[in-house]
Amino acid sequence: MNTLVIEREARAQTVKITDEEIIVELEDGRTISAPLAWFPRLLHGTPEERANWRLIGEGEGIHWPDLDEDIEVRHLLAGIPSQESARSLQRWLQKRKKAHSHMTDNA
């Protein structure tokens, strides 16, 4: 028995983030969502940082420059959460905390 394999990447069109989830509308009309807890950098981001996103790879991924986060649409479709290690996330959180305290000290 032969299996038909369609090699077409799903592409994001728009992104919305609530306090609980990331919601991505695809070019083909589907909408997918995932728990925000799957992506700790987005979870720790401010609403402004979360709103600052851009599509990469013609919509095959989404990039948040303020949070240094990239998510591939195919990972969302496959139910794959962030693969960042706990150690890497802790370093990022420490760096973020230092930068934030430095900004408030200079205000």
Domain span holding position 18 = 12-105
Give the DSSP per-residue string, 6-50.
Answer: ------EEEEEE-SSEEEEEETTS-EEEEEGGG-HHHHHS-HHHH
Does 79 fall in a domain? yes
Structural domain tally of the chain?
1
> Is the pLDDT assigned to residue 100 strictly greater than 90?
no
Residue 59 within any structural domain of the chain:
yes
Task: Give the model's pLDDT for residue 107.
Answer: 57
Whole-angstrom Cα distance, residue 14 to residue 56?
A: 12
Q: What are phi and psi of 26, to 5 degrees?
A: -95, 160
pLDDT one-digit tens code per residue, 8-63: 789 999 999 999 999 999 999 999 999 999 999 999 999 999 999 999 999 999 99
CATH code for the domain in which residue 79 is found: 3.30.2020.40
